[in-house]
Amino acid sequence: MSFVSRLPGTCVCGNAINAGDLIERNAMGKYVHAACLSVQSLRPVYRIAKDTVEEWAAAGLVRVAGLDPDHARELNGVGFSRYDGDFGHDMAEKILAENGLTDKMWAAVVKLATKYQRQIGPKPTLIAV
Ligand SMILES: [Zn+2]
């Protein structure tokens, strides 16, 4: 932790870093307000699928959600179960919005897709993309 003697520019929060502000270097080596460091590191990072399994899970959940447009309960073995419906639809919407998911969401989506392999097909071999 240090105090600014010369002005290192703008913080990740969008505000200027002023002389006398308490600053830290973040993981990128950029100066930020000390108070903004933890805020930034806690912010979840959204990313696109990184391997064939995540791509398969994303496409599969979107398909299952599409088979179940009115959140109907598992009718004839099609669509999400009552238990998975809300989460499954929420994730499918996020995937379709194309902003990606967080690591934690990706893990949950792969787990959920694995449970629905009967509808979406078997999990592929893991290959990074
Ligand atoms: Zn800041």
For residue 126, is it within any domain? no
Number of folded domains that form the chain: 2
For residue 129, is it within any domain? no
Contact 79, 92 (CB under 8 A): no
Q: How far is ligand 1, taken at its centre, from the CA of residue 33, in Å?
A: 4
What is the spatial distance between Cα 64 and Cα 45, in angstroms, rounded to a whole number?
26
For residue 78, is it within any domain? yes
Domain span holding position 14: 2-42
Tell which wins on pLDDT, 32 or 113.
113
What is the spatial distance between Cα 39 and Cα 24, in angstroms, rounded to a whole number?
12
Residue 96 pLDDT level (bands cut at 50, 70, 90) = very high
For residue 127, is it within any domain? no
pTM value is 0.65
Mean pLDDT within 105-119: 96
For residue 97, is it within any domain? yes
For residue 128, is it within any domain? no
- Give, as residue ranges, everything with CB less than 5 Å from ion ligand 1: 11, 13, 33, 36
pLDDT digits (tens, 9 = 90+) for 35-77: 888 765 666 788 899 999 999 999 999 999 998 766 666 566 7
